[in-house]
Amino acid sequence: MEAVTSPVASDVVVVGIAAAGAASGADADQGASAAPVVVAPGLEGEATAALATLARSVGAATKVGSTTRVPAPAGVPGGSVVLVGLGEAGDEISDETLRRAAGAAARACRGLGSALVLLDAERAEAVALGAGLGSFRPAKVTAKDGVNNNDDDEVGPDALRVFTGEGSTDAVSRGDTIAQCVGLARDLVNTPPNLLFPGSFADRAAELGREAGLEVEVLDETALTAGGFGGILAVGGGSSRGPRLVRLTHRGGEGRPTVALVGKGVTFDTGGISIKPAAGMEQMTMDMGGAAAVVATVILAARLGLDVTVVATVPMAENMPSATAYRPGDVLTMYGGTTVEVQNTDAEGRLILADAIVRACEDSPSHLIDTATLTGAQMVALGKRTPGVMGTEDFRDRVSELSRSVGEGGWSMPLPEELRDGLDSEVADLTNVTPHRWGGMLSAGLFLREFVANGVDWAHIDVAGPAYNDGAPEGYLPKGATGVPVRTMLAVLEDIAAQG
């Protein structure tokens, strides 16, 4: 991605259009609609007027993210133009609208050569981020080329240029960096489970961490056994590919806050002995979406040089049924000594998270965020685009607000005390599920709360739906892995760095 201070010749030029409202004068008498308002900083008035006329003549849609490709009129430095909708002209164009529009436009430019994006020079970061997210290149596995082959019609523009005018080009660089790290999380989630399993995931995370200058620690099955990580070992015990625990640390300055990030890394989830239905099980390759987001976020913290210490603790396991798998009825001794009665082996994510949370709290963080594709109940309660955020009330609300500010839509959810009794066990300290199906997302949050150290501001982000888009691409969201909640966690880290 390149920042440009003047409109340079490109194969395709992206401009915005917004609905202008009702026509007036002769056009109104003839029933014609008003020409849309063209948003194209850097272009002369004659060029924008020609684009407005052209947009009206072809009936270009102005709905946010809609795209229409037309020939470039005189004065536009390209062979064609992608008109992207920005909504109503009278409405304030938000950063999220710019991100969605830029993402949709970048996807529409696939296979068209170089693209120049003219949307908002003063908010170039939002434009660059949206365009970068929208031009994400999904990896493929082919017989000819192996992993990471990309067909021409699957990639973004050959060169992506974002117009900044007299604004700072650093904004484009920052937007591009964030988009790259979100893309990293997406690639990890999209990798097939025969290629991304606990050992290979740990190796990849460690490699990425060292490249970013992070401190790296990897615990294999032997080290996990010696350390007493009963939850991770139980969940990973049914697989021939043993579990791992990866720790990646970015150091801020002396005396700066320490923030712990924990992400669920179940590289494939069959449900174990409590096996899932076959239909749709192939999507369980995304059950390490929380881990991927955490790995990407700590790398992003390093690349942006955030002045806050970030410690990522990432448990990785494959939940498989076998003669060595853990069973309903087992009692596990977790890291730290809490015992848990297993009533359902498909409630495995909370078990590996519990071990990791206790370990993360040993670093005495001021704040802890865990994230996971944890419960189907999240989608029942909030749908597929809205993460549920639970935890310490003030910090929960802070995380939710920041999540909404970056367009990831986090929503605060309660942890009702009346649900806590359902986690009591007659043979252990806790059970891993309640005896009823009510409030499943909230009960999972209550379970995790038991493992958070006193005094730590904590937030749990359930992204069971938002981490993976099984529908058509929309805005800057591709089909498949979305990278949610990387940008939420980045916003929280920057807020803590600024305010504590």
The catalytic site residues sit at: 276, 350
Distance CA 42, CA 118 (A): 7
Cβ within 8 Å of residue 389, ≥6 positions away: 396, 399, 400, 403, 410, 411, 412, 413, 459, 460, 461, 462
Single out the residue of 378, 323, 371, 375 nearest to residue 348, CA to CA.
375
Burial class (CB in 10 A: 0-12, 13-18, 19+), 22: exposed
Written as one string, the DSSP assignment of 265-327 is EEEEE--TTSPPPSTTGGGGGGTTHHHHHHHHHHHHHHHHT-SSEEEEEEEEEEE--STTS--
Handedness of CA 292, 295, 299, 301 (dihedral sign): positive
SS3 assignment, position 55: helix
Packed helices 170-190 and 289-304: angle between N→C axes, nearest 10 degrees:
150
Bridge-partner residues for 118, per DSSP?
15
Residue 337 contacts residue 324 (beta carbons within 8 Å): no
Residue identified by tokens 């490249």 is: 211
Single out the residue of 366, 287, 360, 367 nearest to residue 320, CA to CA.
287
Peptide bond into 485 cis (omega under 30): yes
Cβ within 8 Å of residue 213, ≥6 positions away: 302
Handedness of CA 185, 349, 439, 436 (dihedral sign): positive
Single out the residue of 179, 18, 10 nearest to residue 99, CA to CA.
179
Residue 236 contacts residue 242 (beta carbons within 8 Å): yes
